[in-house]
Structure 1
Amino acid sequence: MYNVLLIPAEREPNAALLQRLAAEKISYTLASNMEALPDTGPASSFDAVLVDLGTGDRSTLLSVAERCRTLHLPLLCGLPSERLPTYENSWGAADFFVVPPAAGEVTARIRQARQLASPNAAKEGGNILQVGDLRINLDRYEVSNRGEKVLLTFKEYQLLCALASNPGRVFTREQLLTQIWEYDYFGGTRTVDVHVRRLRSKIEDMGETYIETVWNVGYRFRNQDAPAR
């Protein structure tokens, strides 16, 4: 699978993150900084650099980002959910994920970052969903609204894709639980409501509506031909 350089911003990496790497068969070299990489030349032994930010200072991420740019090596950032509102693209990571990550998420993020970093990568992926100013690039796992990147957790992204790929179709909460969370949830149907509320807060602004509530049933994504409500 993949091999990464893992740099914790705190003294020890997050145990749940290490468990997830092992589960996804991602090998890693633990380092306190970028000294494990050469100053020049290809860093072909690593597929990506992963900074486990935790509650540490973001200066670690910023310094690593500079070296990664020089070596053309993808940089990913793992951070706790409470730091998500303060995360900015200017921190230099190609992508991020919330720790503990969902099953399969780290592999997906590494694969995406490597594809984008490839010199042969297309400038624009062809698998695009767009409604109004909301744009979902399914090849790159990217979401933007009015040209600005939208930062979503993996579950929020999965939920958005499930709804947006079937505009006009009504999903019950139970259907969404089965499709997105499978057996990995504990909050019942309220889990869906909470994630929909968070997703709406990130993609719906200035009166734009994409996710519609069907009372006593569930949710649907606005049909592309239908006007916003």
Structure 2
Amino acid sequence: MVALGKEGLESFGLEHAVDDFVTRPFDPAELALRASRLIRQRETHDGGRPITSGELVIDPSRCEVRLGADRVTLTFKEYQLLKFLATHPGRVFGREALLDRVWGSDYYGGDRTVDVHVRRLRLKLEEKGGQFIETVRNIGYRFRDR
């Protein structure tokens, strides 16, 4: 919960990489549902076999990403986005599809948050020497398998 006006919420969320937020006054039942959804998301994203593409290794059991010998530090949402795209190499996803699959169907906010997260994710991967996320103009994004 944050004590900001509605106009400040989206920028606050983007700056602080929050997974969800509610505005005041809020319905306690809605808050409980949102918390349950976030817990379920974390549980379903834990565990599993590592996903590899060239020197990139996404380890779901540790929620960790490595590029060669270097660890890539990501926010949880960046990690979820990369993992989702990497599990569907070559397939193009538009903003709406990524919002639904990565943020959840009850996400409330603008679709440009996808662009912001992709940009930050690219910068972090490129800093370590990797280029894995490709823009398909006017359509969306795809993971480029190596």
Q: Tell me, yes or no, whether TM beats 0.5.
A: yes
TM-superposed CA distance for 1:170, in Å, is 0.6
TM-superposed CA distance for 1:106, in Å, is 10
Q: 1:159 to 1:107 in 2, by over 3 A?
A: closer
Aligned to 1:170: 92
Please say if residues 64 and 71 of structure 2, whose CA atoms lie closer than 8 Å, have aligned partners that are also in contact: yes
Q: 1 CA distance for matches of 2:133 and 2:65?
A: 15
More strand by share: 1
Q: What is the one-letter code of the residue matched to 1:132?
A: G
Q: TM-score, normalised by structure 1?
A: 0.44
**Following superposition of structure 1 onto structure 2, how do residues 203-222 of structure 1 map, counting pairs within 5 Å?**
203-205=125-127, 208-222=130-144
Aligned to 1:137: 59
> CA RMSD for the aligned pairs?
2.7
Q: 1 CA distance for matches of 2:128 and 2:100?
A: 32
Aligned to 2:73: 151
Provide Cα deviations, 1:162-219, integer angstroms capped at 9, x if missing partner.
10001101111110011112222312x2111000001111112366310000000000
TM-superposed CA distance for 1:105, in Å, is 8.2
Q: TM-score, normalised by structure 2?
A: 0.66
Please say if residues 93 and 139 of structure 2, whose CA atoms lie closer than 8 Å, have aligned partners that are also in contact: yes
Q: 1 CA distance for matches of 2:53 and 2:42?
A: 28
Q: 1 CA distance for matches of 2:132 and 2:118?
A: 11
Q: What is the aligned residue count? A: 114
User: Sequence identity, in percent?
Assistant: 49
Aligned to 1:185: 108
Q: 2 CA distance for matches of 1:140 and 1:207?
A: 22
**Following superposition of structure 1 onto structure 2, how do residues 77-156 of structure 1 map, counting pairs within 5 Å?**
103-104=38-39, 108=43, 127-156=49-78
Q: 1 CA distance for matches of 2:128 and 2:79?
A: 21
Q: 2 CA distance for matches of 1:107 and 1:175?
A: 19
More helix by share: 2
* Aligned partner of residue 101 in structure 2, secondary structure: helix
Q: 2 CA distance for matches of 1:107 and 1:169?
A: 24
Q: 2 CA distance for matches of 1:207 and 1:149?
A: 12
TM-superposed CA distance for 1:223, in Å, is 2.5
Q: 2 CA distance for matches of 1:201 and 1:132?
A: 18
Q: Which runs of 5+ in 2 are unaligned?
A: 3-14, 21-37
Q: 2 CA distance for matches of 1:173 and 1:144?
A: 26
